[in-house]
């Protein structure tokens, strides 16, 4: 979305666009923040709680300490594996595990949002290698470098995105027993995903600016979608600026330990 979202167009590579390249990918803002918000609304969450989950589901791509590319070297591999689902392993096992953690009741709302980020990436970062009949996750340190930005986009595989939408909707509905679900919002979201234009090889392979702008706007315009008016106004920093680094972020090591070791009833995937 360019400067509509934030004046810093190179934040995703720590202001070093000539030396850095985001090889690890993400579902972009459309697939994380805007998707999480709309699914939470569909699961019966109020606007404030839906925003909080969406905020933290986007956060790992914007705080340098949580980002798959810019995390401190001592924790980068763990960040890539646990927060961005770049394990090189079985995506189905990781999806089931993250869903179990979310439903365990052992994580704060901010931690839940970060787990949702990992769940989304467990879909975005899956692929079928040559000469294999099984899906695998991309692994560190190169992520999906050879595939460019294509895995970042909802439109690259709307069917896979639809499976993610269905799983997250089921998880959030179970986590919000007092809410009144609105499955029609999910139908609208999946229909919109199927109607998105496919990314082109050039320039979308090399840059996410154009395609993510299209996908973000499509989700913002949906019934139940986040349009920003309830939470952001011109006198405050933009959403992405506010999310660059937050003092309210969960303690990294504590969160890593909980994800790595599992909680009662949730065993880490082998």
Lowest mean pLDDT among 13-17, 38-42, 54-58: 13-17
State the pLDDT at residue 178. Answer: 92
Is the pLDDT reported for residue 241 higher than 90? Answer: no
Digit-coded pLDDT (tens) for 77-133:
889 998 999 999 999 999 999 999 999 999 999 999 999 999 999 999 998 887 778
More confident site: 81 or 237:
81
Q: Taking CA 84 as the corner, what is the angle to CA 3 and CA 186, rounded to the nearest 5 degrees?
A: 75
State the pLDDT at residue 63. Answer: 86
Phi and psi at residue 205, to the nearest 5°: -65, -35
Q: Is the Cα dihedral 122, 128, 130, 134 positive or negative? A: positive
State the pLDDT at residue 235. Answer: 40
State the pLDDT at residue 217. Answer: 87
Digit-coded pLDDT (tens) for 135-162:
999 886 655 444 445 667 898 899 999 9
The percentage of residues in the chain with a pLDDT greater than 90, rounded to a whole number, is 48
Give 177-223 as a DSSP string.
TTS---HHHHHHHHHHHHTSPPPPSTTTTT--HHHHHHHHHHHHTST
Is the pLDDT reported for residue 264 higher than 50? Answer: yes
- Tell me the angle at which helices 35-42 and 183-194 cross, rounded to the nearest 10 degrees: 150
Q: For the chain, what is the total number of helices (H) and then of strands (E)?
A: 11, 2
Residue 215 near residue 152, CB atoms below 8 Å:
no
Domain positions in the chain are 24-261
Residue 231 near residue 51, CB atoms below 8 Å:
yes
Which 3 state secondary structure label does DSSP give 77? helix
Cβ-Cβ contacts under 8 Å for 224 (sequence gap 6 or more): 38, 41, 42, 182, 185, 188
Q: Whole-angstrom Cα distance, residue 270 to residue 264?
A: 16
Going by pLDDT thresholds of 50, 70 and 90, the confidence category of residue 61 is confident
- Mean of pLDDT values over 174-191: 97
Prior bond to 230 cis, omega within 30? no
State the pLDDT at residue 141. Answer: 61
Closest CA to 114 of 202, 54, 29: 54
Mean pLDDT over each residue of the chain, to the nearest integer: 81
């Amino acid at each position: 979305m360019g400067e509509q979202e934030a004046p810093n167009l190179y934040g995703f590579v720590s202001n070093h666009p000539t030396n850095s390249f985001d090889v690890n990918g993400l579902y972009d803002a459309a697939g994380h923040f805007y998707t999480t918000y709309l699914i939470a609304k569909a699961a019966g969450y109020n606007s404030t709680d839906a925003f909080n989950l969406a905020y933290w589901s986007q956060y790992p791509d914007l705080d340098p300490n949580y980002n798959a590319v810019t995390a401190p070297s001592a924790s980068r591999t763990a960040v890539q594996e646990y927060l961005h689902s770049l394990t090189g392993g079985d995506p189905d096992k990781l999806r089931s595990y993250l869903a179990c953690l979310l439903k365990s009741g052992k994580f704060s709302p901010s931690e839940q949002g970060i787990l949702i980020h990992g769940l989304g990436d467990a879909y975005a970062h899956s692929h079928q290698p040559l000469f294999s009949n099984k899906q695998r996750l991309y692994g560190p340190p190169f992520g999906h470098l050879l595939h460019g930005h294509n895995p970042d986009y909802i439109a690259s595989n709307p069917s896979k995105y639809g499976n993610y939408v269905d799983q997250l909707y089921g998880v959030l509905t179970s986590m919000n027993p007092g809410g009144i679900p609105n499955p029609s919002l999910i139908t609208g979201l999946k229909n919109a995903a199927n109607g998105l234009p496919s990314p082109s090889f050039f320039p979308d392979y090399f840059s996410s600016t154009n395609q993510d702008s299209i996908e973000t706007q499509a989700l913002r315009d949906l019934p139940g979608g986040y349009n920003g008016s309830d939470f952001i106004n011109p006198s405050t920093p933009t959403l992405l600026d506010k999310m660059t680094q937050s003092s309210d972020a969960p303690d990294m090591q504590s969160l890593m330990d909980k994800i790595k070791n599992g909680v009662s009833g949730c065993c880490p995937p082998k």
